[in-house]
């Protein structure tokens, strides 16, 4: 079976969840456009490339499909998982990776746009931010939940909400609360309790870590250097004796000689032999490795009254030999007998979601949507993930077929007729030398340069088994 035939089967599988048969053409056209080698994956250039002879009509149809049609994003993501997950090797376990990603955006009318931190820019600026959960193994990963973060000024502004068609049930929630809600929905649907990975923006929140433990989800999460812990072998004093009336004292006590330390101070107190060099993954040029220490600690803050004395857990520290202070810290509830090599490998599994977002943004137009509505933002993201899911599935099975092709989609874009002028060309100015009907730019290559083909998701040499879960 060719890649084009597999793509048609995949489209039919996704289309079964759209609700109406007249949406099937929109799904196929939109996903095809997202996988074409275009600089911009917004509706107009995709329509002109997918159907150049009827660009205006196709533009209207695709715009309606992504911005107005009332199909379910949750159902779309569920069907993507049904296709991709059985091709992932889950025999060695998997991870839930929580993260958020930003999209720089000018103006203030697109849903959720506000001045906030944008990871793509590395600074505060006008942007939209979305929170996601990805299922990841050593060989592949795919987003399984995705939702826009709605800043509080947006959440409280009825006029802007109404104009952007924000659903009435959507209320303000922090990114951590959104991620937890996504995990709870996955667990309620029967998803396994895999280890949760998140960076310090999530892991430093005590309530976030406590809720993961309440959900029986092990975690490996980043924390900032100021988080306080009880060092190895040091426990707080027991609570004061119960006086016989009122609530029994629960809070552990401290003394001048029995005090917690910040994770930074604890790391600096460890002897040099407490650190060892550990390799975790083969990079593009060399084996990735670093200098790590792992110690058992108890968290010393964030008491809520229900669990005053935290159970012991791992503190993993990364400290390059030439750096003046440690680089990163993680707290983890992975098993006490786990080897440091496995702890390090789990901590650095987060690179997969960065890879996901890189491919989704650079190759599949995740941040190219130009509409302003809540529905359009999420529909475009779901379709970008759908295109990515197909490429992930192809990458996972490519090694099992001899002569696997470099480009997965074997589709020919219709040739342009002689003298064809792309939509919008009359409004452009041109030099006298260009005023000739035979020199009109093509709908795909307005610059005259050949665009690079869609890059192939890098495949691993390791052979994977098909495991359905």
pLDDT at residue 186 in the model: 97
pLDDT at residue 399 in the model: 55
**Pairwise CA distance, residues 274 & 174, whole Å:** 37
Of residues 274 and 441, more confidently modeled: 274
Reply yes or no on whether the pLDDT at 451 is more than 90. Answer: no
Of residues 245 and 384, more confidently modeled: 384
Confidence grade of residue 35 (pLDDT, cut at 50, 70, 90): very high
Of residues 245 and 118, more confidently modeled: 118
Q: What is the 3-state secondary structure (H, E, C) of 81-136?
A: HHHHHHHCCCCCCCEEEEEEEEEECCCCCCCCCEEEEECCCCEEEEEEEEEEEEEE
Mean pLDDT value across the chain: 85
Grouping H, G, I as helix, E, B as strand and the rest as coil, residue 392 is helix
Reply yes or no on whether the pLDDT at 430 is more than 60. Answer: no
Reply yes or no on whether the pLDDT at 469 is more than 60. Answer: no
pLDDT at residue 303 in the model: 54
Task: Check residue 255 and report its DSSP letter.
Answer: B
What proportion of the chain, given as a percentage, has pLDDT over 90? Answer: 68
Using an 8 Å Cβ cutoff, are 252 and 308 in contact?
A: yes
Confidence grade of residue 421 (pLDDT, cut at 50, 70, 90): low
Of residues 121 and 180, more confidently modeled: 180
pLDDT at residue 308 in the model: 66
Reply yes or no on whether the pLDDT at 462 is more than 60. Answer: no
The mean pLDDT value for 304-319 works out to 80
Q: What is the pLDDT of residues 363-384, one digit of tens each?
A: 999 999 999 999 999 999 999 9
pLDDT at residue 259 in the model: 86
**Tokens representing 142?**
């795919």
Confidence grade of residue 446 (pLDDT, cut at 50, 70, 90): very low
pLDDT at residue 419 in the model: 52
The mean pLDDT value for 213-229 works out to 96
The mean pLDDT value for 341-357 works out to 93
pLDDT at residue 304 in the model: 53
**Pairwise CA distance, residues 137 & 87, whole Å:** 11
pLDDT at residue 464 in the model: 38
Reply yes or no on whether the pLDDT at 253 is more than 60. Answer: yes
pLDDT at residue 293 in the model: 97
Reply yes or no on whether the pLDDT at 111 is more than 80. Answer: yes
The mean pLDDT value for 242-246 works out to 80
Using an 8 Å Cβ cutoff, are 4 and 410 in contact?
A: yes
**Pairwise CA distance, residues 161 & 200, whole Å:** 30
Confidence grade of residue 439 (pLDDT, cut at 50, 70, 90): very low
pLDDT at residue 422 in the model: 52
Reply yes or no on whether the pLDDT at 39 is more than 60. Answer: yes
Of residues 468 and 98, more confidently modeled: 98
Q: What is the pLDDT of residues 125-173, one digit of tens each?
A: 999 999 999 999 988 999 999 999 999 999 999 999 999 999 999 999 9
pLDDT at residue 302 in the model: 61
pLDDT at residue 310 in the model: 85
pLDDT-wise least confident of 12-16, 219-223, 243-247, 441-445: 441-445
Using an 8 Å Cβ cutoff, are 227 and 263 in contact?
A: yes
The mean pLDDT value for 256-263 works out to 88
**Pairwise CA distance, residues 223 & 205, whole Å:** 8
pLDDT at residue 431 in the model: 43
Confidence grade of residue 283 (pLDDT, cut at 50, 70, 90): low
**Pairwise CA distance, residues 4 & 22, whole Å:** 21
């Amino acid at each position: 079976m060719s890649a084009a035939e597999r793509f048609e089967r995949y489209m039919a599988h996704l289309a079964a969840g759209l609700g109406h048969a007249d949406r099937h053409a929109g799904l196929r056209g939109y996903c095809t456009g997202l996988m074409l080698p275009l600089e911009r994956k917004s509706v107009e250039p995709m329509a002109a490339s997918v159907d150049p002879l009827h660009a205006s009509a196709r533009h209207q149809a695709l715009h309606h499909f992504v911005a107005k049609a009332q199909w379910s994003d949750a159902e779309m993501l569920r069907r993507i998982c049904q296709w991709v997950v059985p091709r992932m090797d889950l025999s060695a376990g998997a991870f839930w990776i929580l993260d958020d990603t930003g999209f720089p955006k000018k103006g203030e009318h697109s849903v959720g746009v506000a001045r906030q931190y944008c990871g793509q820019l590395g600074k505060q600026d006008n942007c939209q931010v979305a929170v996601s959960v990805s299922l990841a193994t050593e060989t592949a990963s795919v987003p399984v939940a995705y939702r826009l973060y709605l800043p509080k000024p947006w959440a409280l502004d009825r006029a802007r909400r109404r104009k952007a068609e924000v659903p009435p049930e959507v209320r303000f929630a922090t990114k951590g609360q959104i991620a937890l809600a996504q995990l709870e929905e996955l667990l309620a649907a029967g998803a396994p309790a895999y280890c949760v990975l998140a960076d310090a923006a999530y892991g430093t929140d005590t309530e976030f870590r406590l809720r993961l433990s309440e959900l029986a989800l092990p975690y490996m999460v980043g924390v900032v250097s100021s988080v306080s812990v009880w060092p190895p072998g040091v426990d707080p004093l027991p609570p004061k004796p119960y006086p016989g009336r009122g609530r029994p004292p629960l809070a552990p006590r401290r003394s001048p000689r029995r005090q917690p330390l910040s994770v930074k101070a604890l790391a600096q107190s460890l002897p040099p032999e407490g650190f060892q060099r550990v390799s975790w993954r083969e990079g593009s040029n060399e084996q990735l490795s670093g200098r790590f220490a792992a110690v058992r600690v108890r968290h010393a803050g964030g008491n809520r009254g229900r669990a005053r004395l935290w159970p012991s857990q791992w503190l993993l520290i990364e400290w390059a030999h030439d750096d003046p202070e440690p680089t990163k810290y993680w707290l983890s509830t992975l098993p006490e007998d786990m080897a440091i090599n496995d702890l390090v490998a789990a901590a650095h599994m987060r690179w997969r979601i960065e890879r996901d977002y890189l491919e989704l943004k650079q190759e599949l137009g995740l941040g190219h949507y130009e509409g302003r509505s809540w529905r359009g933002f999420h529909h475009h993201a779901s379709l970008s993930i759908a295109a990515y899911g197909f490429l992930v599935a192809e990458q996972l099975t490519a090694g099992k077929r001899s002569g696997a092709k470099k480009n997965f989609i074997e589709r020919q874009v219709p040739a342009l007729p002689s003298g064809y002028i792309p939509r919008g060309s009359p409004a452009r100015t041109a030099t006298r030398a260009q005023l000739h009907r035979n020199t009109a730019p093509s709908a795909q290559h307005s610059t005259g340069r050949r665009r690079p083909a869609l890059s192939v998701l890098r495949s691993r040499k390791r052979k994977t088994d098909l495991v359905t879960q």
